[in-house]
Amino acid sequence: MELAAHAPLLSAAVTILALVLYLYMGFIVGAARTKYGIAAPAITGHPDFERTYRVQVNTLENLVVFLPALWLATTFFTRWGWLPALLGLVWVIGRALYMQGYVAAAQKRSTGFLISFVAQIVLLLLAIAGIVMAWTAT
């Protein structure tokens, strides 16, 4: 069976990876709370905690765009059915690099952010293109 026929399964696997990464981010925020003595509901205190917290929050903010874009592109952009999942994987890798860089130092977050942002924008454009192609084909 052709790879494109597995597009929903590939995107489902990428969705699981993204959610596992997000859950891991929550875990490291909890660990940072303990390490730096930042009791909930406080979100400020030690700069290392604040950067760790921002990684999780910024990723949550991006998940709101990423997940619908991934699934709309998977559903409607069928020309290269594997492409949305590949871009989703790039997004996950970018977010992991963003986390690694930002936790280390704020100045090191840019590369991961840029990788995930570009992947997210391309997914959104594929979703729009797929919807327009489906609309005009009817």
Give me the amino acid identity at 61: E
Predicted pLDDT of residue 124:
98
Structurally, the chain folds into a number of domains equal to 1
CA-closest candidate to residue 65, choices 133, 124, 113, 9: 124
Find the CATH number of the domain harbouring 40: 1.20.120.550
pLDDT at position 3 is 72
pLDDT at residue 5 greater than cutoff 90: no
| 8-17 pLDDT, tens digit each | 999 999 999 9
Say what the pTM is.
Answer: 0.95
pLDDT at 4 over 80: no
pLDDT for the residue numbered 61: 98
List all residues 6 or more positions away from 77 whose beta carbon is below 8 Å from its beta carbon: 83, 84, 126, 127, 129, 130, 133
Mean model confidence pLDDT for the chain: 96
> DSSP H helical segments within 1-138, as ranges?
7-36, 47-76, 83-104, 110-137
Domain that holds residue 125: 3-137
Report the percent of the chain where pLDDT is more than 90. Answer: 93
**pLDDT tens readout for residues 29-51:** 999 999 999 999 999 999 999 99
Q: Is the pLDDT of residue 136 over 70?
A: yes
Tell me which residue of 87, 86, 101, 119 sits closest to 55, measured CA to CA.
101
